């Protein structure tokens, strides 16, 4: 071979996905979202479809990871119900993303009484306060609740009583400030509900809330186990004196 001859590159190694060990295949499926498993992965072969029906695959359902799909491409309500059914009551964590409805939340709550984590986001007319509260009352073991950019104002006192084990609460109200200003006359509604009914909280996030210094003090007094507090974009709080010390952890008796 002459010095000017090009180097021969061997062809890339081809992987036969159907011959992978069952344990490795399960790990691969666990890294995929519910939509990807139901729409693609389970169609690879008989073995993958069989593994995709294992309830252990469905202890966590995340409907947020939708790739480039648009809302009109698939019926996410039907897909979510399929995923919940496959969990056979073993579902522990679910995040609906933007596709929650009263009916869908109720469907999950009635079949997943051991649920520990619930995430909702970017819904407006599809979820009502009454519908949500009816469902949340069926989830006494809930430890984490996340709500982002919703169109409803919740009764957090009632949520706390329904979910006495709640340790993490994240509420992002950004993008809906005008809406909240128009219907919520009491700046500290959320804060007082949290302070009164969520004594086990460790992590609290209230982004864009209308909480005031009084509400913050109520939370610090009512949630003695609080480890992390995120109050970004909460512009009604003016820290001063003992409240600032208590917020910074320097004076727990304030």
- pLDDT greater than 50 at residue 183: no
d(CA 127, CA 75): 17
Which pLDDT belongs to residue 246? 59
Least confident of 34-38, 153-157, 165-169, 175-179: 175-179
Residue 156 binned pLDDT confidence (cut-offs 50, 70, 90): very high
Which pLDDT belongs to residue 198? 98
Which tokens go with 36?
A: 């990807």
Kindly report, residue by residue over 203-240, the tens digit of the pLDDT.
999 998 989 999 999 999 999 999 999 999 888 887 65
Kindly report, residue by residue over 70-128, the tens digit of the pLDDT.
555 678 889 899 999 999 999 999 998 778 889 999 999 999 999 999 999 776 568 88
Which tokens go with 151?
A: 């169109």
Which pLDDT belongs to residue 245? 58
Q: Which residues pair with 207 in a beta bridge?
A: 172
Q: Structural domains in the chain?
A: 58-247 (3.80.10.10)
Q: DSSP secondary structure string, 199-237?
A: TT-SEEEEET----HHHHHHHHHH-TT--EEE-TT-TT-
- pLDDT greater than 80 at residue 147: yes
């Amino acid at each position: 071979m002459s010095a000017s001859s090009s180097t021969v590159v061997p062809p890339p190694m081809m992987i036969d996905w159907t011959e992978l060990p069952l344990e490795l295949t399960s790990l691969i499926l666990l890294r995929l979202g519910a939509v990807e498993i139901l729409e693609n992965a389970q169609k690879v072969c008989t073995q993958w479809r069989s593994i995709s029906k294992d309830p252990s695959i469905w202890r966590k359902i995340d409907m947020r990871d939708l790739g480039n799909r648009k809302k009109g491409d698939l019926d996410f309500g039907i897909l979510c119900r399929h995923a919940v059914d496959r969990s056979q009551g073993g579902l522990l964590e679910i995040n609906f993303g933007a596709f929650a409805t009263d009916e869908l939340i109720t469907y999950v709550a009635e079949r997943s009484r051991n649920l520990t984590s619930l995430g909702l986001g970017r819904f407006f007319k599809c979820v009502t306060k009454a519908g949500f509260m009816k469902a949340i009352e069926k989830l006494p073991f809930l430890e984490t609740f996340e709500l982002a950019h919703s169109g409803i104002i919740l009764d957090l006192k009632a949520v706390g009583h329904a979910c006495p084990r709640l340790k993490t609460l994240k509420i992002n109200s950004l993008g809906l400030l005008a809406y909240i200003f128009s219907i919520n006359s009491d700046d500290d509604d959320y804060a007082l509900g949290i302070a009164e009914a969520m004594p086990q909280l460790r992590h609290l996030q209230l982004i864009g809330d209308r909480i005031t210094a009084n509400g913050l003090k109520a939370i610090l007094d009512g949630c003695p186990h609080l480890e992390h507090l995120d109050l970004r974009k909460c512009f009604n709080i003016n820290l001063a004196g003992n409240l600032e010390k208590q917020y910074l952890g320097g004076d727990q008796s304030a």
